DNA sequence: TATGAATGAGGGTTCATTCAT
DNA sequence: TATGAATGAACCCTCATTCAT
């Protein structure tokens, strides 16, 4: 009833603590999901990793699925926010701008490595079986649009910049995935630029 | 052929029925795994879909995992065999040859559509948590080598043909995955060729 | 309908074959039950061992349990018949008679070894949880009575010969079981006689 | 004792409850295993008997086998501890000492009756198919050695005291098993002593 | 009569979720 | 609010038994 009345100040404090706990849980969840994959990860294990009781986790997330989705969403959102920074002040030269984008993306992949690994391992299922992907696609779309903006600088007319962006990011992703899969180092920006700068094949004269 | 015709007939008949049932089970499994994903699919459900009792499935496959692996492996192997046909009699013109490869691959994706959908959804978990992936990679490697052979026709020297093959197939896959995900039609061969035939970006003069 | 009419002669032949098959199945069952124990033995395995189809076994025994009970009963009955032979023409000297009994019993245990092993491993459950033990007890009782008859020769009065028989066979069994358990050779008749011939303990003078 | 009184109280309480539940489960298991035997007993049934959910049992014992082994081992260990008490202060007179041992053992059998019934029923399967038997044999060996120590008092030289102990306990066990099987009362100490005190048979003069 | 593929109830086990403390 | 013991539905798998051939 009058529950809220007398805790108006403490609430703020509680809020803060709550937020801390939430983050601790999410971090633990990331660790365990990366290690084991969604299905093999147990709430017990996540709780143990987070140094909380199972019940406590349920005070923050209503279900395992919800925890997982929150984790993915926040992590992707964070990734996305950071990614978008590179489009703030693009160099004038489109080639330099593209280089900056690629280099930034590689750097982010490096930083979010354990998340990306989990993402690759588990998210395709959601991707194809329709889960909470809408937000994720929206982010991706926003990123592609921004990249298309950069590509506009080249003034290419025969193909939409949006499509071009998609293809270029596709190549980038292909190389990244290949590296992760082979446990080899991520590609260098220069290497990628070289690939993009010339036709892959040509008509024989 | 008719060496032991007298006794082999009934055996052969049993073999045939067995093979039929096996296929029915694999088809049901494909449906259910596609619908639900590996973990959420239950043997009960697969059995029901196949119109068999659970126990029957275990007469053909020793475990759920084995069933899944057999399904993936057989389907991929078939896909691969068919894919490799295109390398049998390649046109002399490398461009024509590449076009044939791409067109053939698109066609196969169309034919194996529902399997590919399922496979993509589970691919990464399998990739990371190991399993039966070796054969699959071997197939893929064989395909890339063959593709590299085609690309040799272009006489490009600054990048290995193997790497080039990997990139080109990466682009192709990107476009295919995107199409599947968006439930839009697969790209046209010509469209892809155009992309490959010119640099994606260039230095501004 | 008139099925039976024309097979009246062949029936006899069929009977014989039937009996042969029955024995083959029982022998196979003995092998498998000894190897695996009742619960871990499967009808499949017994059928394979007997070179019959599972279904065929069910034409001879209505259930696994029935097969097991028939096996035990027949084996015990056979054991018993052979055991009782020693009482046919007992030596006049009671000591010699007892010696003959013991020696005969040890010999039979040797001959029925694999059955005895199975019996020990599985039968106690039936023994204590009331199964088909009545016949078995009847046999045992008959044997003890016969043994008591032999012991009568000693003219002991302070204890019933029946009880004495029970105790003596108990000692015998103890030694046999111990030997089986330790996988050491069965005891010698003489050794046992010596034990029986003197008090195990005495009052200190 | 009150070393860490402040924090250990709640822990201790939990411990106590845990121990209670553990005992309840073991008791239920004893009942069900007695009724049905190991194989026919189901975890469902044990859980129901214990008034717990199945899952709860698995919080205490990692598997059905482990539950069974814990049950047997604990019960036997307890039996053994109590048995060995009689060897603490043996009377000087060896006959009195032996009498005490026998009487004590009969008493313990009476007290652990329902367990012993179950144990006998499963004993042999365990014995032959290995498992946790080593500890049990060690207990038994310790007991036989102690009994041999008592028998030393008789100064018998023609047979090892260890062997004598084995035979005497064999007789004792025979009588006990027979009584249990026939659902007749256990034998009296005096009755057994009388048997031991004179030769079972003798040469006719 | 003999076969053996098919059956499906029932087993042991796991783990997301609940709720009394 | 935090706890974690308890829950029980649901999973994978086995195998005695049936029955169409």
What is the pLDDT at residue C15? 79
User: B142 at the A interface (CB within 8 A)?
Assistant: no
pLDDT digits (tens, 9 = 90+) for C140-176: 999 999 999 999 998 888 888 998 999 999 999 989 9
What is the pLDDT at residue C37? 86
Nucleotide nearest to D14 (CA to C1'): F5
- When pLDDT is averaged across residues C185-201 and rounded to a whole number, the result is 90
Cα separation, C153 vs C161, whole angstroms? 10
- Give the neighbours of chain C: at least 3 Cβ pairs within 8 Å: D
User: B107 at the A interface (CB within 8 A)?
Assistant: no
| Contact between B118 and B29 (Cβ < 8 Å) | no
Cβ-based neighbours of C30, under 8 Å, separated by 6 or more: C71, C75, C114, C115, C118
- When pLDDT is averaged across residues C74-79 and rounded to a whole number, the result is 93
pTM: 0.87
User: A127 at the B interface (CB within 8 A)?
Assistant: yes
- When pLDDT is averaged across residues D141-165 and rounded to a whole number, the result is 91
User: A125 at the B interface (CB within 8 A)?
Assistant: yes
Strand E, nucleotides covered by protein (CB < 7 Å): 1-20
| Contact between B52 and B114 (Cβ < 8 Å) | no
Confidence bin at C11 (pLDDT 50/70/90): low
What is the pLDDT at residue A9? 52
What is the pLDDT at residue B27? 96
Q: For residue A53, what is the DSSP state?
A: -
> Count of CB contacts below 8 A, C vs D?
124
Q: State residue C88 phi and psi, 5-degree precision.
A: -60, -55
Verify whether the Cβ–Cβ distance C94 to D196 is below 8 Å.
no
Cα separation, C136 vs C142, whole angstroms? 10
What is the pLDDT at residue B77? 94
Cα separation, A75 vs A131, whole angstroms? 16
Cα separation, D102 vs D187, whole angstroms? 10
Confidence bin at C6 (pLDDT 50/70/90): very low
Q: How many CA atoms lie within 13 A of A95 on its CB side?
A: 14
What is the pLDDT at residue B8? 43
User: D113 at the C interface (CB within 8 A)?
Assistant: no
| Contact between D104 and D86 (Cβ < 8 Å) | yes
Q: Above 50 in pLDDT, residue A65?
A: yes
Å from C28 (CA) to E1 (C1')? 20
A–D contact: 3+ Cβ pairs < 8 A = no
What is the pLDDT at residue D3? 41
Å from A41 (CA) to E15 (C1')? 10
| Contact between C76 and C122 (Cβ < 8 Å) | no
**Of B122, B166, B200, Cβ closest to residue A196:** B200
Q: Above 60 in pLDDT, residue D9?
A: no
pLDDT digits (tens, 9 = 90+) for D80-119: 999 999 999 999 999 999 999 999 999 999 999 989 988 8
Identify the closest residue of chain A to B126 by CA–CA distance. A121
Cα separation, D194 vs A42, whole angstroms? 66
**Of B39, B164, B170, Cβ closest to residue A174:** B170
Verify whether the Cβ–Cβ distance A124 to B124 is below 8 Å.
yes
- Burial of D82 from C-beta contacts in 10 A (0-12 / 13-18 / 19+): middle
Cα separation, C106 vs B144, whole angstroms? 75
Verify whether the Cβ–Cβ distance C199 to D204 is below 8 Å.
no
Verify whether the Cβ–Cβ distance C173 to D175 is below 8 Å.
no
Q: Is D93 left (phi over 0), alpha (psi -120 to 50) or beta?
A: beta
A174: nearest Cα among A100, A120, A136, A131: A120
pLDDT digits (tens, 9 = 90+) for B87-106: 999 999 999 999 999 999 99
What is the pLDDT at residue C4? 43
What is the pLDDT at residue A17? 87
Q: For each of chain B's 205 residues, which pLDDT tens digit applies?
A: 444 444 444 556 678 899 999 999 999 999 999 889 899 999 999 999 999 999 999 999 999 999 999 999 999 999 999 999 999 999 999 999 999 999 999 999 999 998 998 888 777 776 666 666 788 889 999 999 999 999 999 988 888 899 899 999 999 998 998 888 888 999 999 999 988 998 888 876 5
What is the pLDDT at residue A4? 43
User: D62 at the C interface (CB within 8 A)?
Assistant: no
Q: Which residues from B are below 8 Å from A117, CB to CB?
A: 128
Q: How many CA atoms lie within 13 A of A132 on its CB side?
A: 13
Cα separation, C141 vs B36, whole angstroms? 65
Verify whether the Cβ–Cβ distance B129 to A37 is below 8 Å.
yes
Q: Which residues from C are below 8 Å from D204, CB to CB?
A: 93-95, 153-154
Q: Which residues from D are below 8 Å from C93, CB to CB?
A: 204
Q: State residue A73 phi and psi, 5-degree precision.
A: -60, -45
Å from A126 (CA) to F11 (C1')? 22
Q: In the predicted model, what is the mean pLDDT of chain D?
A: 88
- When pLDDT is averaged across residues C86-96 and rounded to a whole number, the result is 94
Helix axes B94-111, B133-151, angle to 10 degrees: 150
Length of chain D in residues, anyone? 205
**Of A123, A173, A201, Cβ closest to residue B174:** A173
Q: Above 80 in pLDDT, residue D1?
A: no
Does any strand E atom come closer than 7 Å to the Cβ of D64? Answer: yes
Identify the closest residue of chain B to A128 by CA–CA distance. B121
Give me the long-range contacts of D4-11 (CB less than 8 A, separation at least 24).
none
What is the pLDDT at residue C136? 85
Verify whether the Cβ–Cβ distance D197 to C203 is below 8 Å.
yes
């Amino acid at each position: 009833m009058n529950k809220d009345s007398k805790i108006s100040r403490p609430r703020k404090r509680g809020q803060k603590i709550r937020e801390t706990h939430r983050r601790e849980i999410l971090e633990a969840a990331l660790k365990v999901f990366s290690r084991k994959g969604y299905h093999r990860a147990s709430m017990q294990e996540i709780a143990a990793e987070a140094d909380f009781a199972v019940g406590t986790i349920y005070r923050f997330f209503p279900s395992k699925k919800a925890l997982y989705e929150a984790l993915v969403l926040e992590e992707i959102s964070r990734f996305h926010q950071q990614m978008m920074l590179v489009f703030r002040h693009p160099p004038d030269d489109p080639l330099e701008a593209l280089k900056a984008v690629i280099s930034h993306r590689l750097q982010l992949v490096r930083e979010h490595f354990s998340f990306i690994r989990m993402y690759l391992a588990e998210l395709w299922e959601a991707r194809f079986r329709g889960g909470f992907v809408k937000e994720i696609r929206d982010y991706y779309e926003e990123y592609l649009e921004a990249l298309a903006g950069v590509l506009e600088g080249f003034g290419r007319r025969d193909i939409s910049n949006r499509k071009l962006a998609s293809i270029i990011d596709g190549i980038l992703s292909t190389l990244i995935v290949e590296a992760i899969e082979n446990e080899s180092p991520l590609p260098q920006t220069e290497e990628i630029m070289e690939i993009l700068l010339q036709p892959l094949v040509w008509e024989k004269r």
